[in-house]
Structure 1
Amino acid sequence: MNADIINLFLHSAIRLFRDMFGLRITSCPAYVLENQLSHRWEISGILGITGDYSGIISFRLPSLLADKLLEKSGIILHDDNKRRETVYSMVGELTNIISSNVSDQLVQSSISISPPAVIIGKNHRILWPKTTPVIAIPFSTQYGPFEVDVCMK
């Protein structure tokens, strides 16, 4: 894994949550993600990486934080189905913004980033590559945690 590439994604995510939503972000110790079947994340925005490096980067958060991000955007929805659809779109767009910010800094490299995919649901599963460890980098905010998971070789 290339720490410089990973840091581009981390810094982009931190800037986005800080500048767009006014979140106070504190980083927590990174760890190797081992138990992937049981986790606290209800929403994941996922990017595929190909080229000089390949792998997956996921931005994960609980629905309570996603709902707070909607509220801070001025969107308040009482219908659960509409709220879920809007959260799905919002997480996809936030992941896309992070991807675009990183892509702008990678113009000289041969790294490509896929369009984002979003998974919603308790204990949803991401099929990580089995040959490379997944590093989880958690963060806390005043409205709840989020995590950036990286599996790249």
Structure 2
Amino acid sequence: MQVEYINPFIRSMTNTFDTMLGCGIKRGALVLAQDFNGSYDVCGVIGLSGRAQGVVVVNLSQSVAIQAAAAMLMMDPSEFDGLNDDVVDAVGEIANMVAGAAKAELEEFELSISLPNVVVGSPPDIRFPSEVHAIAIPFECAWGPMSLKVGFTPVGVLA
């Protein structure tokens, strides 16, 4: 995957947390997803198709997922009982916002995004298509750790 394609996803993740959730995040170093060993409790997964194909995965620790859901629903985090349906729905919506905003910056690929799927459990075993070399970006915020994994390749071009 070409690094310039990852920047819209990084900007989107940063803007989603800063603007929509009121929580600034700090990005770590980019690494190949296969070499990344971060383990998180819940993941929002979005498929990409069009003139490129691939996957976007927003990985959140339980604490980040609960705090984000509380911010979205204007509730106190103590009102949530673990990774309940509201938290899972919020994680899906965060993944949707991140993928949707990045899609808007990548117009040349005429991307469509799938409905979000949310995977709960640690460590989740989410795999990218074999021809896609995904990139992982760790993030930290006051709520805890998270990461973003993105892997896509233009149709007809092997990365």
Q: TM-score, normalised by structure 2?
A: 0.81
Q: Number of paired residues?
A: 151
RMSD across aligned C-alpha pairs, in angstroms?
2.3
Structure 2, gaps ≥5 residues long: 154-159
Match of 1:70 in 2: 69
Match of 1:97 in 2: 97
Match of 1:80 in 2: 81
| Partner SS, residue 41 of structure 1 | coil
| Partner SS, residue 123 of structure 1 | coil
- Once superposed, which parts of structure 1, at least 4 consecutive aligned residues long, lie more than 6 Å away? none
* Cα distance between partner residues in 1 of 2:141 and 2:16: 13
Percent identity reads 25
* Cα distance between partner residues in 1 of 2:135 and 2:48: 15
Structure 1, gaps ≥5 residues long: none
Pairwise CA distance, 1:29: 0.8
Match of 2:57 in 1: 58
* Cα distance between partner residues in 2 of 1:35 and 1:3: 16
1:31-53 CA deviation, whole Å, 9 max, x = no partner?
Answer: 122368x7421111111112222
Match of 1:43 in 2: 42
| Partner SS, residue 19 of structure 1 | helix
| Partner SS, residue 145 of structure 1 | strand
Amino acid at match of 2:81: D
Aligned partners of 2:42 and 2:119 also within 8 Å: yes
Q: TM-score, normalised by structure 1?
A: 0.84
Match of 2:139 in 1: 139
* Cα distance between partner residues in 1 of 2:105 and 2:28: 25
Aligned partners of 2:23 and 2:142 also within 8 Å: yes
Pairwise CA distance, 1:120: 1.1
Structure 2 residue 26 is matched with structure 1 residue 15: no
Q: Which moved more, 1:120-129 or 1:94-103?
A: 94-103
* Cα distance between partner residues in 1 of 2:88 and 2:146: 16
Distance 1:135 1:107, change over 3 A: closer
Distance 1:131 1:86, change over 3 A: same
